[in-house]
Structure 1
Amino acid sequence: MGSASLARLHGLFAVYKPPGLKWLHLRDTVEMQLLKGLNAGKPPAPEQRVRFLLGPVEDGEEKQLTLKATSVPTLTNHRLVCGPEFLRLKIGVGHRLDTRSSGVLVLGVGHGRRLLMDMYDAHLTKDYTVRGLLGKATDDFCEDGRLVEKTTYDHVTREKLDRILAVIQGSHQKALVMYSNLDLQSQEAYEMAVRGMIRPMSKSPMLITGIRCLNFSPPEFLLEVQCMHETQQQLRKLVHEIGLELKTTAVCMQVRRTRDGFFTLDDALLRTQWNLQSIQDAIRAAAPRVAEQLEKNLRPRFNNQQLSSSDHPGDDSKSPGSTLRLESYSGH
């Protein structure tokens, strides 16, 4: 029973990481719950073996002891003798979230760890909602950091914020084309651009493919960001630099990932669902979509190798380079 349950665990699934929880602790918790479920299964019936045991035999008025063939269970594989059947699982973690962040976190069990590498090689975009607060600046760009400065923000309007966001998106889209190493004169490159399939060929700074304001209620504002090769700290710094461009200051109140590649919040298992049955069901439900999306996103990259004009852009001075632009967000 345990081996059959383990065979249904190979694959990818997503969980919802709450803020304040380290990704390593989350992984260990999921592993513990899976091991608990695997080892709680009903053990198979023990094997039987024949032993000759002494037993009484009535012979007239006298009782004698004689050896009788008896079938008895063997205890060499009993759980109380050899301990739990499963002691450790190999669980991989996809694009990580730091302790302060929350949202979709993709995990891979068994053979699913190789699929995590395929997701990484596909350079899929991720969606975040980022909440900012105007009028404050801290040493770590977070609301609870050490206060550095307080400013007024009455002059900030939704229109000014939207203009800044448009500048950010435009500069990063140009950088995305540069880091993709595509021959833009080719038909295949044109078709990839139409389908939104342009991806960087290797590591790059954080690239923002889309950014917009979802809500503006001064001093708070809420952004939706589509990006790749980011860290959550870079997103917090982005809020800080948007505040500077608006001639004020801003800190980040919340970073929440709502999509990681082809996994969304609807796919993410809540903490109460981190158990064997729920994870098996999630892996089985996601398997066809995982295979389809990886095939769709990896095939253009293999074909794209022939279109590449160089291994990596050699002159970073061609990148957009101001507080709103690519050089400010270098990192992976």
Structure 2
Amino acid sequence: MVPSGVLLVDKAPDMTSHDVVAIARRALGTKKIGHCGTLDPMATGLLMLVVERATKIQDLLMSEDKEYEGTLTLGKTTSTQDRQGDVLEEKEVPAFTAAQIDEAFAGFTGAFEQIPPMVSAIKKDGVPLYKLARKGQEVERAPRPVTVSKYDIRRIELPEVDFVVNCSKGFYVRTYAHDIGAKLGCGAHLSALRRTRSGRFTLERALTVDKIKEMPREELWRSLVSLAEISLMRGA
């Protein structure tokens, strides 16, 4: 019997979240598995996989706040709002001061609305937006309420800015970078992203995909965060 629980994975770059689920499904020997919150192929870090009966709390786990470490690059806007897209516009980056950059970030704190990017899994008339984007179509997207509870600027070496952001579910860090670039007037895109926390889960117990592939199945089962432990963590 495959145990129920959450497998914490430290996703490598250039993999889809679906790729990780497929690898874990084979390694664990289960068909009942899903993930909590898609990470773009470019992104690395915490991907939570729900296994067996834990699939019933998938929505609950996905609703919790997240923390990301990211890098935005000023001066270039792209079709996907990250470095994997086509460059749409290039502008010179002024010699911004740390205070000017902080002011731009501060404009996106607390509760505000974000327009989701075209390259996203949100559906329009049953069709994911990214499929429409691949065909060169752009449709109107309704703004969505999001919250940034905290941010920290870690490094400024223009045109790059490293930051940490704590945000609500449904938050697009790509759009955050794009919007900050727009506020500064020179444009920007997200050039690196790593998820470091989701709710109370961190990377501390996360396994790499290579580790998952090579671990004996019983040992992998023992690495799951049990439903009882999750209940205690969440104060239930």
TM-score normalised by the shorter chain: which range applies?
0.7 to 0.9
Q: Is the 8 A contact 1:262 1:290 kept in 2?
A: no
Query: Whole-Å Cα distance in 1 between the matches of residues 50 and 56 of structure 2?
Result: 8
1:169-191, Cα deviation, whole Å (9 max, x unpaired): 14549xxxxxxxxxxxxxxxxxx
Q: State how 1:38-53 maps to structure 2 within 5 Å.
A: none
Query: Whole-Å Cα distance in 1 between the matches of residues 72 and 159 of structure 2?
Result: 8
Q: 1:256 — aligned with what? A: 194
Q: 2:179 — aligned with what? A: 241
Q: Extract unaligned runs of 5+ from structure 2.
A: 114-143
Pairs aligned (count): 203
1:188-207, Cα deviation, whole Å (9 max, x unpaired): xxxxxxxxxxxxxxxx6232
- SS at 1:283's partner residue? coil
CA gap of 1:230–1:117, structure 2 versus 1, over 3 A, is closer
Q: State how 1:111-130 maps to structure 2 within 5 Å.
A: 111-120=53-62, 123-130=63-70
State which of 206, 212, 220 in structure 2 corresponds to 1:268: 206
1:18-52, Cα deviation, whole Å (9 max, x unpaired): 121111121111111122xxxxxxxxxxxxxxxxx
- SS at 1:223's partner residue? strand
Give yes or no for the alignment of 1:148 onto 2:92: no
Query: Whole-Å Cα distance in 2 between the matches of residues 239 and 294 of structure 1?
Result: 31
Q: Is the helix fraction higher in 1 or 2?
A: 1
Q: Is the 8 A contact 2:66 2:198 kept in 1?
A: yes
Query: Whole-Å Cα distance in 2 between the matches of residues 164 and 135 of structure 1?
Result: 15
Matching residue's letter, 2:201: F
Point out which structure has higher relative CO (alpha carbons under 8 A, 6+ apart). 2
- SS at 2:186's partner residue? coil
Query: Whole-Å Cα distance in 2 between the matches of residues 145 and 109 of structure 1?
Result: 33
State which of 186, 197, 221 in structure 2 corresponds to 1:280: 221
Q: 1:217 — aligned with what? A: 157
CA gap of 1:153–1:106, structure 2 versus 1, over 3 A, is same
**How far 1:289 sits from its partner (Å)?**
4.0
Matching residue's letter, 1:280: W
State which of 26, 30, 49 in structure 2 corresponds to 1:107: 49
**How far 1:103 sits from its partner (Å)?**
1.2
Matching residue's letter, 2:168: M
**How far 1:242 sits from its partner (Å)?**
0.8
Q: 1:10 — aligned with what? A: 4
| Larger-Rg structure | 1
CA gap of 1:93–1:160, structure 2 versus 1, over 3 A, is same
**How far 1:150 sits from its partner (Å)?**
1.7
Give percent identity, aligned residues only.
23
